[in-house]
Structure 1
Amino acid sequence: MSSGRTVHPVPSHTTMTDVARVAGVSIKSVSRVINNEPHVSQRLREKVEAAIAELDYVPDTAARSLAGARSFTIGVLFDNPSPNYTMKVLAGAYRACIDNQYHLRIDTLDSFVPEADLRRQVDQILRHSRCDGFILTPPLSDAKVLLDMLEARGVAYSRIAPMLDVDRSMAVMIDDTAAAAAVADLFWARGHRRIGIINGPNTHGAAVNRRRGFMERLLQLDPAILVSEANGGFSFEGGIAAGHELLAARRYPTAIFAANDDSAAGVIVACSQLGLKVPSDVSICGFDDSWIAKSVWPYLTTVHQPIDMMAQYAAQMVLSRVSLNETQRLRQLDFELILRDSVADAS
């Protein structure tokens, strides 16, 4: 008995030509669907995808790269000391690459070198990576030399958490200013009036915005308030040193906001070294909600930002073959203040 359905023999090594034959379309049409090009009709897409499923066809990324100008690789550029942040960015970007059959490349730049040296670093990456585009992470998101060079060579890029000239490119961010203000409100509501902040690098846009949001909100609550400050550089070791600096004062802060979780964990260590208890003596709040927030004790109150989702959106922006409109070029995601055990009422 015949079902009336045409059964196509599956070749031992399925090619794009086989997909085109089964779908009854040209090879060019199959290529347009696989590469997610614009202006492909829904009917054509369904026919090609049905043939791909029937033949269990897996596109050959290497062959696709040789056949056209694209390398089917995007790169992520880092200059960030936080391993927790780095891993979340990679997880999100990798997810977008897998969904689009792309490879992911990782490179690091030192943005603190003289401009001529930075130009040489960027030139080396652009010469040898053959990436179709790049995701820029802070502080590279605001490195003007890097942005200028990418644009001059016509290389697509998106930025995570830029602070300067936000409308210049595709970008994904949260409202760091509002998030830090929420931490200030939390400390104030719990009765803290001697307050400290451990800042990130002043070349890092998000760190600058967090400090501004925190300080401005406290000054709104009490124009005469004095806030103790130290620099932790977004690192665990920097948090320990900054914690010792703030807690050495006779009237040390009863609440400290660290601009990321790594430095907040360092402050917890500094408290332990000085014989102070968290949170009964000192309340501590971090930022990021990385894995370290639940690897320390007490568990860390922190601001959750969806770093992996930010990276995934940034990658999708670069991978998009369609020109994004103004609302799609800039995406702001939500944050959440996560209350755990490291913040308590002031003694």
Structure 2
Amino acid sequence: MARRRQAVTIKHVAADAGVSLQTVSRVINDGPNVRPEMKERVQASIDKLGYVPSIAAQRMSGSHSYLILALNDRERTIAEWEARQGSDWVNQMLLGGMLTAGKYGYRMMVELVDTHVDHVERELAGTIASLQPDGVILTPPHSENRNITRFLAEKAIPFARIGSVAGGPGIAMTMGDEHNAAMATDYLIGLGHERIGFIAGPSEYSLSGWRVDGWTRAMTRAGFKVDGLLEKGDFGYDSGLAAARKLLELPERPTAIIASSDQMALATLDTARAMGINVPADLSLISFDNTPIVNFTQPALTAVDQPIAQTTSRAVELLIDAAREGNWPDEPVRVRGTLIERGSTAPPRQHAND
């Protein structure tokens, strides 16, 4: 059986170059006060040994941890994982964040924190003390939790607030929720729909209100009424069932519905089917998120593709720049989504032959 090759460490480089560990660390991290000939000597040993710097070696410089920490809501994330219903928010965060962090010699990891508990600061303090991240990404509802944002600001740790444009510390970022909802509404209006219902998310998320604003703005601009066409859920399937039934039992029911999550859209699809309402012939349906499951429904769902990966990628870039150069955006950073057209949308029946 072949012996496993021993990994090359910073100690091997130091021994080969005949210098201290600290000198190798300063060369790796492009530190000050290193003579050119010493840099060449250490680099020659690195090249000869095939050494790849680890985060531990990079951290020896003491100036950076080379780690970006993303915080996600524990309760909701675990519930989605256990349900195995297709949500890929964390996957998309890792896709965008890890790849971008890696380009800059950083690493990104995700921690789950319960934003509703009283001891959130104590829990967060332990995480920050053990990991010492160069930057933190906050996702909803953490991004608007004042205990968390105040704690990070007091620790002088750069952080990005995804899903928040309110004033205060940190880098405010959105995924263009108001624009995305207006875009979906305009698309349905372009198909000929006039009565377009909307199922909103919970009020604890600012983005829920932004999406309602986008829908309202597009409907008003087109001269259509929104009275009685708004219902609220909690992003979950069961709440979507209740909201969809209320809309579809209206005396003059909507010919199209936009649901603020894939789970609520699936619930709307199932409710319509149970009521004998055909999608898309009798009802067009658009979802938010565009998680994998919407590709496999019958029909497949037209969806607003939330740019989670792109937004996380941008957050990583901004945090690295803030940690290294102290640069902060003056205005909220917006990364807008796109609309993916599938089989759940069509002109309303009265316009089908126009």
- What TM-score does the superposition give when structure 1 sets the normalisation length? 0.80
Pair 1:37–1:69, CA change in 2 (3 A): closer
Question: Partner of 2:344 in structure 1?
Answer: 342
Pair 1:38–1:307, CA change in 2 (3 A): farther
Shift of 1:151: 0.9
Shift of 1:244: 1.9
Pair 1:161–1:31, CA change in 2 (3 A): farther
Question: Partner of 2:303 in structure 1?
Answer: 302
Shift of 1:256: 0.5
Question: Partner of 2:153 in structure 1?
Answer: 151
Distance 2:191 2:336 in 1: 24
1:87-98 matches, within 5 Å, as 87-98=91-102
Shift of 1:35: 4.2
Q: Which moved more, 1:168-177 or 1:334-343?
A: 168-177
Distance 2:108 2:251 in 1: 55
Shift of 1:168: 3.3
For the residue of structure 2 that corresponds to 1:322, the secondary structure is helix
User: Contact between 1:38 and 1:322, CA under 8 Å: does it hold in 2?
Assistant: no
Pair 1:192–1:98, CA change in 2 (3 A): same
Distance 1:23 1:318 in 2: 34
Question: Partner of 2:70 in structure 1?
Answer: 76
> CA RMSD for the aligned pairs?
3.7
Shift of 1:21: 8.5
Q: Which moved more, 1:321-330 or 1:303-312?
A: 321-330
User: Contact between 2:165 and 2:172, CA under 8 Å: does it hold in 1?
Assistant: no
- What TM-score does the superposition give when structure 2 sets the normalisation length? 0.79
Shift of 1:90: 2.7
1:196 equivalent to 2:192? Answer: no
Amino acid at match of 2:54: D
Partner of residue 52 from structure 2, selected from 58, 75, 91 = 58
Pair 1:254–1:185, CA change in 2 (3 A): same
Shift of 1:73: 3.8
Shift of 1:38: 9.9
- Aligned length, in residue pairs: 333
Partner of residue 122 from structure 1, selected from 110, 124, 129 = 124
Question: Partner of 2:83 in structure 1?
Answer: none
Distance 1:309 1:191 in 2: 32
Question: Partner of 2:277 in structure 1?
Answer: 276
User: Contact between 1:77 and 1:109, CA under 8 Å: does it hold in 2?
Assistant: no
Question: Partner of 1:137 in structure 2?
Answer: 139
Unaligned runs of 5+ in 1: 1-10
Q: Give % identity.
A: 29
Question: Partner of 1:182 in structure 2?
Answer: 183
Pair 1:16–1:129, CA change in 2 (3 A): closer
Question: Partner of 1:3 in structure 2?
Answer: none
Q: Which moved more, 1:191-200 or 1:229-238?
A: 229-238
Pair 1:76–1:147, CA change in 2 (3 A): same
For the residue of structure 2 that corresponds to 1:241, the secondary structure is helix
For the residue of structure 2 that corresponds to 1:87, the secondary structure is helix
Pair 1:326–1:157, CA change in 2 (3 A): closer
For the residue of structure 2 that corresponds to 1:179, the secondary structure is helix
Unaligned runs of 5+ in 2: 81-86, 350-354
Pair 1:163–1:327, CA change in 2 (3 A): closer
1:239 equivalent to 2:240? Answer: yes
User: Contact between 1:163 and 1:206, CA under 8 Å: does it hold in 2?
Assistant: no
Question: Partner of 1:6 in structure 2?
Answer: none
Shift of 1:253: 1.4
Partner of residue 110 from structure 1, selected from 110, 115, 121 = 115
Pair 1:309–1:129, CA change in 2 (3 A): same
User: Contact between 1:200 and 1:259, CA under 8 Å: does it hold in 2?
Assistant: yes
1:315 equivalent to 2:316? Answer: yes
